[in-house]
Amino acid sequence: MSTAKLILEGKEYDFPVLIGSEGELGVDVTGLRARTKAITYDPGYANTGSCKSAVTYIDGEEGILRYRGYPIEEMAESSTFIEVAYLLIYGQLPNLRELEAFQDQLTHHSLIHEDMKKFFEGYPRGAHPMTILSSMVASLEAYYPDAANGEDINLNIIRLLAKAKTIAAFTYKKSIGQPYVYPRNDLSYPADFLHMMFAVPAEPFPISPSLENALNLLLVLHADHEQNCSTSTVRMVGSSQANLFAAISAGISALSGPLHGGANQQVIQMLDMILKDGGNYQKYVDMAKDKKSDFRLMGFGHRVYKNFDPRAKILKKVADRILPEMGIRDPLLELAKHLESAALKDAYFIERKLYPNVDFYSGILYRAMGIPTNMFTVMFALGRLPGWIAHWLEMRNDPTTRIHRPRQIYTGQVKRPFVSVDQR
């Protein structure tokens, strides 16, 4: 094993260097503080590995994304979301019997306890669907307390995967004042979600294969992305042995931020604003470069991808293909392409290796499906659910897992005596 040498205050220390499956290197600083009294400092953890994981591999320079070794391009082309969920969680692609059994379990756990419907009554009309999703997922523990002590983990994984789409669809129905539409056992995961979202009791919702396939693709593309902000949150909360539902609820909250999963909603709002401002996209490219402005091109840039986000490339192609198929001509798609082309030619974006990320085109497709903008990040969360679960399970099954507890560089006041209020 190779080592890295640290020279600190004249003393030399050797640390082992870990080598990942794809040859990536990691300096193992376990025991650094005990040996040197020093810690590392890495705000935003841009250079810090929090764990070893076998779930997903990303090469940001080469624009590579693989789920358990399978390239995202092949998964997007040939796999179903349920198949991807099985792969991520259990580590192998299911055979036909395993896939059917998994689908059957999900189908028969898709109802939520009738009492949970009362929760929806308590939210104000404008409550953001991510707020509701996060609290409803956390509340699942109240109905399945065995989740707290980890009994029958797999049943709770199934419950969570199956019920999250029902909670999401019910949240939408509640927000538009329509009656809830219950899951159907004869439909695929994406088709059943579209059914619960858009059917009305008096009138079944005809699910077009292109709509079902487009949603399946979006869910597959969002299924996992290694140690992103929300997945790291799930691991952080799970490391205290909080139950599965609590850990995933925390992940949903982290994802809701506009710099993370909330970006897909921000992208559409940004494109809408540019369109309403005469479509002058160059003005907004220039604003995004201006340090005096806090405007950013939402859907652009990535902590890891310093080349194209492969998911963005796939989504752009799909949007180009299926919008005409659906007879939709969305001016926001044309505007997005102009904006992308202008930014990719601009030195500011080129120097900083800022490319479109998964959020840049996903909203265009959600819009084409009739999904409202404030539900876009919920769609991201439904897609990311198997990834979060896979990482929670991997962490839970790892005997070396310790509670996550980073250190800090203290910059506050040094010791000083207390002064009573009449002396201040």
Query: Active-site positions?
Result: 302, 359
Residues with Cβ within 8 Å of 249's Cβ and at least 6 positions away in sequence, in order, are: 134, 135, 137, 138
Give least dist CB 348 to ligand SDX, A. Answer: 7
State the residue for tokens 């809830």: 180
Amino acid at 60: G
Residue 170 or 300: the one with the smaller Cβ distance to ligand SDX is 300
Q: Alpha-carbon distance 265 to 117, whole Å?
A: 26
Look at residue 300 and give its three-state secondary structure: strand
State the residue for tokens 């009294």: 37
Q: Which of 326, 322, 304 is nearest to 314 (CA)?
A: 322
Give least dist CB 224 to ligand SDX, A. Answer: 8
CB atoms within 10 A of CB 394: 20
Residue 35 or 338: the one with the smaller Cβ distance to ligand SDX is 338
Instruction: List the interface residues with ligand SDX, window 60-89 (CB under 6 A).
Output: none
Residue 343 or 368: the one with the smaller Cβ distance to ligand SDX is 343
Residues with Cβ within 8 Å of 379's Cβ and at least 6 positions away in sequence, in order, are: 168, 218, 219, 222, 264, 362, 366, 371
List the strands of the sheet with 70-71, edge to edge. 56-59, 64-67, 70-71
Q: Alpha-carbon distance 76 to 223, whole Å?
A: 11
Residue 106 or 354: the one with the smaller Cβ distance to ligand SDX is 354
Q: Identify how many contiguous H helices and E strands the chain contains and give both numbers.
A: 18, 6
Residues with Cβ within 8 Å of 409's Cβ and at least 6 positions away in sequence, in order, are: 39, 41
- For helices 244-255 and 129-143, give the axis angle rounded to 10 degrees: 180
Among 259, 325, 345, 350, indicate the residue that binds ligand SDX (CB under 6 A).
Answer: 259
Among 228, 256, 265, 377, indicate the residue that binds ligand SDX (CB under 6 A).
Answer: 228
Instruction: List the interface residues with ligand SDX, window 287-316 (CB under 6 A).
Output: 288, 296-304
- The answer to whether the CB of 146 falls within 8 A of the CB of 176 is no
Instruction: List the interface residues with ligand SDX, window 345-384 (CB under 6 A).
Output: 352, 354, 357-359
Residue 129 or 310: the one with the smaller Cβ distance to ligand SDX is 310
CB atoms within 10 A of CB 245: 23
Number of residues that bind ligand SDX (CB under 6 A): 22
Give least dist CB 88 to ligand SDX, A. Answer: 13
Residue 195 or 391: the one with the smaller Cβ distance to ligand SDX is 391
Beta bridge partners, 158, equal none
CB atoms within 10 A of CB 78: 10
Q: Alpha-carbon distance 224 to 376, whole Å?
A: 17
Instruction: List the interface residues with ligand SDX, window 95-124 (CB under 6 A).
Output: none
| Helices marked H in 188-330 | 189-198, 209-221, 229-238, 244-255, 263-276, 281-289, 310-325
Give least dist CB 261 to ligand SDX, A. Answer: 6
Residue 28 or 346: the one with the smaller Cβ distance to ligand SDX is 346
Site string (32-61) toward ligand SDX, x via CB under 6 A:
------------x-----------------
Give least dist CB 391 to ligand SDX, A. Answer: 12
Q: Which region, judged by CB under 6 A, interacts with ligand SDX, from 109-117, 144-152, 259-267, 272-280?
A: 259-267
Among 88, 263, 378, 385, indicate the residue that binds ligand SDX (CB under 6 A).
Answer: 263
Give least dist CB 271 to ligand SDX, A. Answer: 13
Which tokens sit at 172?
Answer: 């939408």
Q: Alpha-carbon distance 112 to 173, whole Å?
A: 15
Q: Which region, judged by CB under 6 A, interacts with ligand SDX, from 49-57, 133-141, 260-268, 332-340?
A: 260-268
Q: Report CA 202 to chain centroid distance, whole Å.
A: 35
Give least dist CB 229 to ligand SDX, A. Answer: 6
Give least dist CB 311 to ligand SDX, A. Answer: 7
Q: Which residue is nearest to ligand SDX (CB)?
A: 301
Q: Alpha-carbon distance 228 to 380, whole Å?
A: 13
Q: Footprint of ligand SDX on this chain (CB under 6 A)? A: 44, 225, 228, 259-261, 263, 288, 296-304, 352, 354, 357-359
